[in-house]
């Protein structure tokens, strides 16, 4: 609204939509601003064309907020579904938001579809030639593209036949995310690589990329001396995962802590190319922090993030900088100082655009009293090297190279308080092992925060996804190695979830 006002577009837009005789498609905020106002950022006035105000989802319902992921639509009238929406059939669509409008008699003539999340909310509006969606058609895969194509073609009637997406459990789907760790190899080419416990180089005696035996190795290629493992080209792999049904794709620039001029960041070109071929959400991480070009030009973290958003990222993921911000948060009596990348990006782009990536390593302790960090009693009879039963998870920075005196749960809690909308929870001990997600870690973090948590590291078979969704509150699970090496297909993961009654998106 601020930007529209500054550009003196408010009245023109209001008149255009109010006339209702020319095509308009509002997406997400483009739906929200048609209402009277929103309580976001302390209160914002809207265009006032539709009765109602945007309010935050009700936290008391105990569901993670933001509402992120693929959910169902319920059409308000079965007989009179607007042609654009009828193209969706019963396929799920992608939402990402913390604020929503609810249906009321005053706005009933506008409401075309609702959805369920902590209660019923408005998912789509339609009247005359005006359509608006709370979901993102541009991120809703083939289903969303059908809507956009219909809008561009001005199609009022003929809608493509839509195949029903099976009788699987409905509601917000648990997400399956494919992750691409990207870096330059020694020849200077950008490749997707994959580490074992963050070591991405082949051991010099072997060229295989099989799992490690779980022994601890230094991170980011400092342990082995061979070539950087090359598992493919970033854009081609992302396109493959989109076609195979990934619910999201994440790119991590794993050498993002090294200095590169902002304009030359190779990931910007990757994102631009990927967003022409991939129509599910894209997250980018690595190097989201204040940066200084070699010529001394300084860029705030917000400017760095803005460059990624403009190039096609939907979310940015902050690693090392979040750890430093969390340490300042605790030193400052659990208060933000308004300067961190999390706070500034969240304020400008919304919490749903800010992911905090956690890179923890397990530290075994003899008893909870032997550390000031919060500990967990490890389940399944696992023990540390000296028979320890307790552990905490030490946060690291710079791709696991340096540890800090901060536990993963503490980081996640601070990140939420500072304005992050999601936690990407890696685990250095499990990375690349194929031994399954660290359930104790995922359980501890996902039960400590009210934002969605993505479990990451260690997936080795479809059953590991079922296990982490059943045993913890996580909203999504991410894998890399098994997908890159074709050991497990995304469809197999979703099949296992569906068989177990876990809601999952198909088609
Ligand atoms: O600190 O903000 O510049 O961000 C750096 C980012 O790069 C962080 O998100 C950090 O997790 C990531 N990163 C840094 N070094 C490595 C490395 O591997 N040497 N990769 C790295 C992290 C971990 C996962 C991986 C899962 C799943 N990769 O994302 O994809 O563990 O793997 P699996 O299914 O094969 O087990 P900053």
CATH number at residue 96: 3.40.50.880
Q: What CA–CA distance (Å, rounded) separates 155 from 211?
A: 52
The residue from 119, 153, 187 where one domain ends is 153
The reply to whether 167 falls in a domain is no
Residue 213 has pLDDT above 90, yes or no: no
Residue 163 has pLDDT above 80, yes or no: no
- Tokens for 216, please give them: 């601890």
Residues 64 and 200 in one domain: no
Whether the CB of 220 sits within 6 Å of ligand 1: yes
Q: What CA–CA distance (Å, rounded) separates 44 from 419?
A: 18
In this predicted model, what pLDDT tens digit does every residue of 102-153 receive, in sequence order?
A: 999 999 999 999 999 999 999 999 999 999 999 999 999 999 999 999 999 9
Whether the CB of 421 sits within 6 Å of ligand 1: no
Residues 204 and 118 in one domain: no
Q: What CA–CA distance (Å, rounded) separates 346 from 286?
A: 17
Q: Are 219 and 226 in contact (CB under 8 A)?
A: no
Whether the CB of 399 sits within 6 Å of ligand 1: yes
Task: Determine the pLDDT at residue 8.
Answer: 97
Residues 194 and 310 in one domain: yes
Residue 278 has pLDDT above 60, yes or no: yes
State the DSSP H helix or E strand holding residue 356, giving kind and residue range, or none if neither: strand 354-358
Question: Which residue is associated with the tokens 């005006």?
Answer: 130
Which residues pair with residue 178 across a beta bridge? Answer: 249, 479
Task: Determine the pLDDT at residue 217.
Answer: 36
Banded pLDDT at 447 (limits 50, 70, 90): very high
- Name the most confidently modeled range: 189-198, 249-258, 266-275, 445-454: 445-454
Atom of ligand 1 nearest to the CA of 193: 18
Give the mean pLDDT of 179-199.
90
Which residues pair with residue 292 across a beta bridge? Answer: 298
The reply to whether 165 falls in a domain is no
In this predicted model, what pLDDT tens digit does every residue of 227-241 receive, in sequence order?
A: 899 999 999 999 999
Report which protein residue has its CA nearest ligand 1's atom 8: 319
Q: Are 131 and 24 in contact (CB under 8 A)?
A: yes
Q: What CA–CA distance (Å, rounded) separates 140 from 94?
A: 5
181 is catalytic: yes
Ligand 1 geometric centre to CA of 432 (Å): 11
Question: Which residue is associated with the tokens 């909203």?
Answer: 475
Question: Which residue is associated with the tokens 């991590």?
Answer: 252
In this predicted model, what pLDDT tens digit does every residue of 321-362 receive, in sequence order?
A: 999 999 999 999 999 999 999 999 999 999 999 999 999 999
Whether the CB of 459 sits within 6 Å of ligand 1: yes
Banded pLDDT at 158 (limits 50, 70, 90): low
Catalytic residue among 67, 97, 138, 248: 138
In this predicted model, what pLDDT tens digit does every residue of 481-503 receive, in sequence order?
A: 999 999 999 999 999 999 999 99
Ligand 1 geometric centre to CA of 356 (Å): 12
Catalytic residue among 28, 391, 395, 427: 28
CA distances from 342 to 25, 179, 313 (A): 31, 22, 16
CATH number at residue 491: 3.20.20.70
Q: Are 457 and 424 in contact (CB under 8 A)?
A: no
Residue 224 has pLDDT above 60, yes or no: yes
Torsion sign (Cα): 41, 47, 48, 51: negative
Residues 192 and 63 in one domain: no
Q: What CA–CA distance (Å, rounded) separates 332 from 382?
A: 36
Residues 140 and 205 in one domain: no
Q: Which domain holds residue 247?
A: 175-499
Task: Determine the pLDDT at residue 225.
Answer: 73
By mean pLDDT, which of 21-35, 99-113, 147-161, 438-452 is the weakest?
Answer: 147-161
Ligand 1 geometric centre to CA of 285 (Å): 9
Atom of ligand 1 nearest to the CA of 180: 30
28 is catalytic: yes
Residues 192 and 142 in one domain: no
Return the number of other C-beta atoms located less than 10 Å from residue 197's C-beta.
Answer: 23
The reply to whether 263 falls in a domain is yes
Atom of ligand 1 nearest to the CA of 287: 3
Q: Tell me whether strands 111-116 and 453-456 are parallel, antiparallel or unpaired.
A: unpaired
Task: Determine the pLDDT at residue 162.
Answer: 57
Residues 254 and 397 in one domain: yes
Report which protein residue has its CA nearest ligand 1's atom 14: 399
Q: Are 359 and 347 in contact (CB under 8 A)?
A: no
Residues 422 and 334 in one domain: yes
Task: Determine the pLDDT at residue 12.
Answer: 96
Whether the CB of 456 sits within 6 Å of ligand 1: yes
Give the mean pLDDT of 288-313.
93
In this predicted model, what pLDDT tens digit does every residue of 73-112 receive, in sequence order?
A: 999 987 788 989 999 999 999 999 999 999 999 999 999 9
The reply to whether 505 falls in a domain is no
DSSP 55-120: EE--GGG---SSEEEEE--EES-SS---HHHHTTTT--EEEEESEE----GGGTTTEEEEEESSSE
Mean pLDDT over the full length of the chain: 92
The reply to whether 347 falls in a domain is yes
Residues 123 and 203 in one domain: no
DSSP letter for 332, please. Answer: T
The reply to whether 326 falls in a domain is yes
Q: Ligand 1 test: best mutation among 399, 401, 423, 481, most atoms within 8 Å of CB?
A: 399
Whether the CB of 147 sits within 6 Å of ligand 1: no
Task: Determine the pLDDT at residue 215.
Answer: 31
Task: Determine the pLDDT at residue 206.
Answer: 46
Ligand 1 geometric centre to CA of 358 (Å): 9
In 3-state terms, what secondary structure has residue 433? coil
Residue 167 has pLDDT above 70, yes or no: no
Q: What percent of the chain has pLDDT over 70?
A: 93
Whether the CB of 480 sits within 6 Å of ligand 1: yes
Banded pLDDT at 218 (limits 50, 70, 90): very low
The reply to whether 170 falls in a domain is no
Whether the model pTM is above 0.85: yes
Whether the CB of 285 sits within 6 Å of ligand 1: yes
Task: Determine the pLDDT at residue 182.
Answer: 93
Q: Ligand 1 test: best mutation among 178, 180, 181, most atoms within 8 Å of CB?
A: 181
Ligand 1 geometric centre to CA of 196 (Å): 11
The reply to whether 166 falls in a domain is no
Return the number of other C-beta atoms located less than 10 Å from residue 297's C-beta.
Answer: 11
In this predicted model, what pLDDT tens digit does every residue of 374-426 receive, in sequence order?
A: 999 999 889 999 999 999 999 999 999 999 999 999 999 999 999 999 999 99
Residues 383 and 493 in one domain: yes
Banded pLDDT at 208 (limits 50, 70, 90): very low
Residues 256 and 373 in one domain: yes
Q: What CA–CA distance (Å, rounded) separates 368 from 394?
A: 15
Whether the CB of 458 sits within 6 Å of ligand 1: yes
Q: What percent of the chain has pLDDT over 90?
A: 82
Report which protein residue has its CA nearest ligand 1's atom 31: 457
- Tokens for 184, please give them: 């330059």
Banded pLDDT at 221 (limits 50, 70, 90): very low
- Closest CA relative to residue 241, chosen from 497, 489, 507, 56: 489
In 3-state terms, what secondary structure has residue 11? helix
Banded pLDDT at 160 (limits 50, 70, 90): low
136 is catalytic: yes
DSSP letter for 196, please. Answer: B
Whether the CB of 477 sits within 6 Å of ligand 1: no
Return the ∠ at Cα 61 (arms to 58 and 66), rounded to 5°.
55
Give the mean pLDDT of 243-251.
98
Residues 143 and 189 in one domain: no
Ligand 1 geometric centre to CA of 182 (Å): 9
Q: Tell me whether strands 315-318 and 354-358 are parallel, antiparallel or unpaired.
A: parallel
Whether the CB of 52 sits within 6 Å of ligand 1: no
Give the mean pLDDT of 448-475.
98
Please give the tally of structural domains in the chain: 2
Whether the CB of 256 sits within 6 Å of ligand 1: yes
């Amino acid at each position: 609204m601020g930007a529209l006002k500054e550009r003196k577009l408010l009245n023109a837009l209001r008149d255009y939509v109010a006339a209702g005789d020319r095509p308009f498609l509002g997406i997400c905020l483009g739906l929200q601003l048609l209402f009277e106002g929103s309580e976001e950022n302390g209160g914002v006035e809207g265009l006032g064309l539709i009765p109602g105000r945007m309010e935050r989802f009700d936290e008391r319902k105990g569901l993670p907020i933001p509402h992120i992921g693929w959910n169902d639509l319920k059409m308000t009238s079965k007989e009179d579904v607007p042609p654009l929406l009828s193209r969706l059939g019963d396929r799920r669509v992608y939402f990402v938001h913390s604020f929503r409008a609810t249906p009321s008699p005053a706005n009933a003539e506008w409401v075309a579809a609702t959805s369920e999340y902590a209660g019923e909310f408005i998912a789509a509006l339609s009247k005359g030639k005006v359509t608006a969606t709370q979901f993102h058609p541009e991120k809703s895969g083939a289903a969303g593209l059908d809507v956009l194509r219909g809008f561009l073609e001005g199609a009022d009637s003929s809608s493509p036949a839509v195949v029903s997406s099976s009788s699987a459990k409905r509601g917000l789907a648990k997400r399956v995310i494919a992750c691409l760790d990207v870096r330059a190899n020694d020849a200077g080419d950008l490749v997707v690589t994959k580490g074992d416990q963050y070591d991405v180089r082949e051991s010099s005696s072997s060229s295989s990329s099989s799992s490690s035996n779980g022994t601890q190795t230094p991170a980011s290629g400092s342990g082995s001396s061979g070539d950087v493992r090359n598992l493919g080209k970033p854009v081609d792999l992302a396109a493959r995962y989109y076609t195979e049904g990934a619910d999201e794709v994440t790119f991590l620039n794993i050498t993002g802590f090294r200095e590169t001029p902002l304009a030359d960041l190779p990931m910007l070109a990757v994102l631009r190319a990927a967003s022409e071929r991939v129509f599910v959400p894209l997250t980018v991480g690595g190097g989201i922090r204040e940066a200084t070009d070699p010529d001394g030009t300084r860029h705030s973290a917000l400017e760095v993030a803005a460059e990624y958003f403009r190039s096609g990222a939907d979310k940015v993921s902050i690693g090392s900088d979040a750890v430093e911000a969390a340490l300042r948060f605790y030193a400052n009596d659990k208060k933000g100082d308004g300067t961190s990348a999390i706070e500034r990006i969240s304020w400008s782009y919304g919490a749903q655009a800010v992911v905090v990536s956690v890179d923890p390593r397990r530290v075994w302790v003899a008893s909870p009293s032997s550390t000031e960090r919060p500990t967990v009693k490890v389940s399944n009879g696992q023990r540390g090297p000296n028979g320890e039963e307790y552990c905490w998870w030490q946060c690291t920075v710079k791709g696991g190279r340096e540890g800090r005196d901060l536990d993963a749960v503490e980081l996640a809690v601070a990140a939420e308080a500072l304005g992050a909308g999601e936690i990407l929870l890696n685990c250095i001990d499990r990375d690349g092992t194929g031994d399954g997600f660290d359930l104790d870690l995922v359980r501890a973090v996902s039960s400590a925060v009210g934002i969605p948590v993505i479990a990451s590291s260690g997936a080795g078979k479809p059953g590991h996804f079922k296990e982490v969704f059943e045993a913890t509150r996580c909203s999504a699970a991410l894998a890399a190695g098994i997908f890159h090496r074709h050991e497990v297909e995304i469809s197999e993961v979703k099949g296992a979830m569906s068989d177990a009654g876990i809601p999952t998106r198909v088609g």
